[in-house]
Homo-oligomer: A and B are copies of this chain.
């Protein structure tokens, strides 16, 4: 008995941090793009909470947190087709897929918002994400207007789709960055959100993300170098928050001579794919 759930990846372009007493009320505002065909989570009945990612045993605290809250004995097998720890919201995707799959497998009868809230709080508690889960629930190009789980989060979106390209240079620790002082990030993130809401287009999103990367102090040397090269070709790249990863829309990275990986934006959020015997 198993349930399979598809969850998009989420590249955050800019954000601001909002801490509250409760993890469900904590989170971030900001905007990003979600990527289709990125993460598939299969939740198997029984097992001891073991997590296997791309056929290797993994320690994913956000997933453990979800299983604890739901009090489900399950084994999680995930196929992840984007870099891990590099700004694609994989921990959030695994937590969200686990929540939706485990709910169905154990007949807990929780609503979609409840499950999104549980996964969001699990990611926040693990220190691995502040807004990926609600964005991955929505799909598309989500704008997070207020932080937290679905009962407090307000979202809007950019009503457009474009392919996404990226090149990654490796991991950054989300926990190390969002756990510390975030004044410069929050100021830059607030300005970027205001700019995007005035003109909610994908082009504006990329511009705001580029400005945020620079003024937040998060920009790495490798990403800056690629951004400059893409700009010299008339394009706009920016940094995936939080990873040592540079991303762009359309063919902006290819056009500048890089050999990026390419994905389609996800038209949808979390989706139950199959339940053995249910159809």
Q: Chain A residues in contact with chain B, CB under 8 A?
A: 100, 103-104, 109-113, 115, 139-140, 143, 150, 156-163, 197, 199-201, 250, 267-269, 271-272, 278-279
Contact = CB atoms under 8 A, between A and B. Distances in A.
B159 A200 contact: no
A267 to B, nearest CB: 4
Contacts of A115: 159
A100 B271 contact: no
Contact of A111 (B139, B156, B271, B279): B156
A111 B158 contact: yes
A215 to B, nearest CB: 24
A204 to B, nearest CB: 8
A113 B199 contact: no
A105 to B, nearest CB: 12
A100 B139 contact: no
Which of A160, A250, A269 has the most chain B CB within a 10 Å cutoff? Answer: A160
A110 B201 CA distance: 8
